[in-house]
Amino acid sequence: MTTRISVKNAETGSSVEMELEAENTVEEIIESAASYWEVSPGAYVLRRGKAVLRGQSTIVEAKIREGDVVELIPDPEGG
């Protein structure tokens, strides 16, 4: 059974619909979105509302549900 969510790219305002399986992890969501938008996956965090979704959590552990909207947020470093 798959779960369909929306992933918003905060840097462009675009969003994708993504199909997930229960074993998929947050890290894989970030990697898939980053690959689709051709950006570096290590440079982002994923948020749902006010919560950071942690990389190794599965979508079950992260309580990601059908229809959820998550957002890819840049995590810059300056020097």
Residues engaged in binding other proteins (CB under 8 A) = 4, 10-21, 23-24, 28-29, 31-33, 36, 39-40, 42-45, 47, 49-52, 73-79
**Cβ closest to other proteins, residue 43 vs residue 57:** 43
Spatial distance between the Cα atoms of 58 and 48, rounded to a whole number of angstroms: 14
Residue 21 beta carbon to other proteins: minimum distance, rounded to whole angstroms: 6
Residue 36 — φ and ψ, nearest 5°? Answer: -60, -40
Q: The tokens of 41 are what?
A: 């996956």
Q: The tokens of 63 are what?
A: 């309580």
Residue 7 beta carbon to other proteins: minimum distance, rounded to whole angstroms: 8
Spatial distance between the Cα atoms of 75 and 39, rounded to a whole number of angstroms: 12
Residue 26 beta carbon to other proteins: minimum distance, rounded to whole angstroms: 10
